[in-house]
Structure 1
Amino acid sequence: MDLLNEKSLYKLVNELSLEFFHKPFKHAVYFNHRLRTTGGRYIPAKKVIELNPKYALEEDEREFIGIIKHELCHYHLHIEGKGYKHRDKEFRELLVETGSPRFCKPLSSYETEFKHTYVCKKCRQEYKRTRRVNTKKYRCGKCRGELALIG
């Protein structure tokens, strides 16, 4: 998806707002290149939607549109003075009503390859880590048992 300019991004967000919410989007929408682990966010104080451009480039169009619809749920509920946070009933109901996803799937470029696997000698709880863990210093978070490196 080649929506890397702000005008076409605003146009897309406004079209989705009219189609799914039957209300115009009247504030700003930007790409935020600093977003890493989320597809987008709504900033209530500024009434601004920020979107992760990597989702527009790396994922399919349906995923990116789902992120926009999710953020529009936050936006419209906030504007109307209703519960716009993830835990609010009104928010969850609007997600279902508009077919918006509750969470976005992780970017494939951010999926980490775990290099080290540790197992608790006592309860057999497994821990996957990218970096090594000092087994003399750290214990199992579940039962306080001793950790052992496997594989």
Structure 2
Amino acid sequence: MNDEQLQTWVEEISLRSFGVPFRHRAKFNGRLRTTGGRYFMKTHHIEINPAQLEAYGTEEVERIIKHELCHYHLHLSGRGYRHRDPEFKALLNQVGGSRYCQSLPGRAKRKPLPYRYKLVCNRCGMEYLRKRRVDPERYRCGKCRGVLQLSSLQ
């Protein structure tokens, strides 16, 4: 599928599901990695990740298009277009769009950093695990207000 076919597909979905025409550009963007699509508020254009089409087919991409069209139509009508807005959630459920896109197969998932540092209270012995190094002089124990001492777990 090319950009022109995507454009006509988005226009059809907009008319069928929302009853309002899509009057801007829709195109594929192969540089998208972690998202299925995106809506640009300044230009009102929509970009879709072509890897989602290859991996999951037209049904999943149609749900992604409906998600982006929810942003589009709500933003142009001056209503709540953000993910957290109740109007966005209601319209998304009404048209059958996806809330989140599926992660692409073969993509390595980020592993959380293991805890590398430990702050120990000198007074009560309370331990605080941290992934990043912090300055113990800037903090006190949340339990007894005692002095903290930094130690490394590795």
Could you state the TM-score of these two structures normalised by the residue count of structure 2? Answer: 0.71
Match of 2:109 in 1: 112
What 5-or-longer segments of structure 1 have no aligned partner?
128-136, 140-144
> Over alpha carbons, which structure has the higher Rg?
2
Name which of 79, 90, 102 aligns with 2:87. 90
SS class of match (1:30): strand
**Could you give the per-residue CA deviations for residues 42-80 of structure 1, whole angstroms, max 9, x where no partner exists?**
001001001111111112221111100100000011111
Indicate yes or no: 2:66 matched with 1:50: no
CA 1:146 to 1:13, structure 2 compared with 1: closer, same or farther past 3 Å? farther
Match of 2:121 in 1: none
**Could you give the per-residue CA deviations for residues 117-139 of structure 1, whole angstroms, max 9, x where no partner exists?**
7799989xxx9xxxxxxxxx869
- Structure 1 position 111, deviation (Å): 3.7
- 2:6–2:26: 8 Å Cα contact kept in structure 1? yes
Name which of 88, 100, 105 aligns with 1:103. 100
Q: Runs of at least 4 residues of structure 1 off by over 2 A? A: 111-114, 116-123, 145-149
Alignment of 1:49-68 (within 5 A): 49-68=46-65
- 2:117–2:133: 8 Å Cα contact kept in structure 1? no
Say how many residue pairs are matched: 133
CA distance in 1, matches of 2:81, 2:93: 14
CA distance in 2, matches of 1:100, 1:74: 11
- Structure 1 position 41, deviation (Å): 0.5
Indicate yes or no: 2:24 matched with 1:23: no
Identity of aligned residues (%): 42
Indicate yes or no: 2:78 matched with 1:81: yes
